[in-house]
Chain A
Amino acid sequence: MLTVLSHSKFQGQMLLSFQNVSLSYEPKLNILDNITFSIAENGFYFLTGTSGAGKSSLLRLIYQSERPSSGQIILFGESLTNDGHKKQAEMRRKIGIVFQDFRLIPHLTAWENAALPLRLTDAKEDYIKRHTQELLEWVGIGHRMYATPQELSGGEQQRVAIARAVVTKPRLLLADEPTGNVDEDTALKLLHLFDELNKLGTAVILATHQSHLVDKFHKPALRLVKGRLQKSGN
């Protein structure tokens, strides 16, 4: 069960910790306001809230696409400060991200897109081929491996994006509205996929505004309302 925890008490065991984190673009435009929470290793967490509540911004802070205006974020036991590009890249390699708009490279095949993060590691070509193929079969699009994103449906593209996010076996998976562009059945299948991934040892933070889907899975939830964390648990 998720608890909104004080950082000082649980810092050692936590995968991710936000301490009084705020994000504002202008003095009066607060996107996130004084957010404090910690999440444990191997956990599965929903990040809920209406559109514009700050879910994507919170995820962007985790994968360091944005910097907090104030407060401290601790990820994998290290504070996310402005440590430079090399350190940032190193942290990002431990995170898998499923973007709301998939962000697949249009001229690469599903297989090439999914294998991309592995190519930033020292993995051998044989392993890349075999592992990516297995993963695409696991997400259910093994038969469409050599199709480009334009040739795939929204649900299929989403599966490729998921395969790409988990191909390096990241410690943390961030998914931003992964079910936003698919039908109910596909959405449930995708959520089961995330659940299976979590059981394999990857912590998952899944941002969604579809509260009915959250209710079907008995997982803890962080609820954002106008940039403020309202409650924890489910």
Chain B
Amino acid sequence: MSLPRHLFTPAFRVQHLGRSFAAIVGIMVFIASFATAAETVLLTASYLWGQTMETRLTVEIPAVGDEASMPQAERVRQAVSVLRALPDVGMVSPLSDSEVERLLGPWFNKPELLRALPLPTLIDVDRKPGAELSAQKIQAALKNVVSDAKVNDHGAWTRDVWRLVRGLTLLGGLTIALTALTLVIAVSLICRAVIAAEHETISLLHLIGAENKDIARHFQSQASRIAARAAAIGFLFALFLTLGLFFSTRDIMNLSSLEWIHWVSVGIVSLLVPFCATAIATVTARISVMRLIETFP
């Protein structure tokens, strides 16, 4: 069974309801795709970043004024030995001077000033997975060799960051859900307008023996074609915006931890949006039409 493709054309085309339908689907897909891509990138990046940072502590060995009594290199060597001897420690890695300079560089206008300052030595320490090694324990272990060492546990503040990310993710999810709800409401309103405009045609179809499901199926396929095209356009706009945004902010947002597989995952998850939107628009159109034409005499 196939009714003429342009059966409902007057309402869809002549009265611009098709354009309104396409615009709403396109805009909703644009918003949802952008939110999904941003959310997925944020989640993936923060997860990867959190995986590293949550188990990491940084030991700071302040620079000594009197190199003659105890050279800084010796203090670092002793601290590293103590740290490596701790059973819950996985990896101990002192940062080179150039790495420390790179970290502090953005805070100093003049590089020569940075080189003139007595910089501390930083040692990255990774806990073994599941180990209960606190900053206090490390501090206590180092007390005898480097009494002025400071231990900074990244796990404490990364948990706060993770809570923030989860909050943002929830907000993103809420945005997507509200977008889907808006799409459902808008599509059902447009369907109502189309059905009102096509009242005569639908009455005739009933009189020649068309069942509601025949009419709804035909309407649904027409709505589906419009929705699919609009969703593709909305998605492409969102894609360009997302790529542009990531590219222009690549210096601010460090996304270097994301590998190609993560970017592919972001793409796949985002690509679900136009498909889901088309499906939502199609199903909404069918249900709306079925409900409306059931009230026809």
Give 1 or 0 for each of A71-103: 1 = CB within 8 Å of chain B CB: 000000000000001100111111101000001
Pick out which of these stretches binds chain A: B4-12, B38-46, B185-193: B4-12
Question: What is the distance, in angstroms, from B215's C-beta to the closest C-beta of chain A?
Answer: 10
Question: What is the distance, in angstroms, from A168's C-beta to the closest C-beta of chain B?
Answer: 8
| Most B CB within 10 A of own CB, among A85, A90, A125 | A85
Pick out which of these stretches binds chain B: A43-51, A105-113, A224-232: A105-113
Task: Evaluate contact between A117 and B7: CB separation under 8 angstroms.
Answer: no
Q: List A contacts of B207 (CB < 8 A).
A: 63, 65, 92, 97, 103
Task: Evaluate contact between B208 and A97: CB separation under 8 angstroms.
Answer: yes
Q: List A contacts of B297 (CB < 8 A).
A: 65
Is A122 an interface residue when CB atoms closer than 8 A count as contact? Answer: yes
Is A199 an interface residue when CB atoms closer than 8 A count as contact? Answer: no
B1 touches which one: A63, A86, A91, A119 (CB < 8 A)? Answer: A119
Given A85-B294, A105-B201, are A120 and B209 also a contact pair (CB < 8 Å)? yes
Closest B residue by C-beta to A117: B208
Is A159 an interface residue when CB atoms closer than 8 A count as contact? Answer: no
Given A65-B297, A85-B294, A120-B214, are A108 and B4 also a contact pair (CB < 8 Å)? yes
Q: List B contacts of A106 (CB < 8 A).
A: 10
- A117–B4 alpha-carbon span in the complex (Å): 11
Task: Evaluate contact between B7 and A105: CB separation under 8 angstroms.
Answer: yes
Is A223 an interface residue when CB atoms closer than 8 A count as contact? Answer: no
B211 touches which one: A63, A86, A94, A112 (CB < 8 A)? Answer: A86
Give 1 or 0 for each of A10-44: 1 = CB within 8 Å of chain B CB: 00000000000000000000000000000000000
B residues bordering A, Cβ < 8 Å?
A: 1-4, 6-7, 9-10, 200-201, 204-212, 214, 294, 297
A89 touches which one: B4, B6, B10, B210 (CB < 8 A)? Answer: B210
Task: Evaluate contact between B209 and A117: CB separation under 8 angstroms.
Answer: yes
Question: What is the distance, in angstroms, from B64's C-beta to the closest C-beta of chain A?
Answer: 90
Q: List A contacts of B4 (CB < 8 A).
A: 108, 112, 116, 119
A residues bordering B, Cβ < 8 Å?
A: 63, 65, 85-86, 89-95, 97, 103, 105-108, 112, 116-117, 119-122, 125, 164
- A92–B206 alpha-carbon span in the complex (Å): 8
Q: List B contacts of A65 (CB < 8 A).
A: 207, 297
Closest A residue by C-beta to B2: A119
Task: Evaluate contact between A103 and B212: CB separation under 8 angstroms.
Answer: no
- A223–B43 alpha-carbon span in the complex (Å): 80
B208 touches which one: A92, A108, A112 (CB < 8 A)? Answer: A92
- A119–B209 alpha-carbon span in the complex (Å): 10
Closest 6 CB pairs of A and B: A93-B209, A92-B209, A89-B211, A117-B208, A89-B209, A112-B4
18 A-B pairs besides A91-B209, A122-B1 with CB distance below 8 A are A63-B207, A85-B211, A86-B211, A89-B209, A92-B206, A97-B207, A97-B208, A103-B204, A107-B6, A116-B3, A117-B208, A117-B209, A119-B1, A119-B2, A119-B4, A120-B205, A120-B208, A120-B209
Task: Evaluate contact between A107 and B10: CB separation under 8 angstroms.
Answer: yes
Question: What is the distance, in angstroms, from A148's C-beta to the closest C-beta of chain B?
Answer: 12
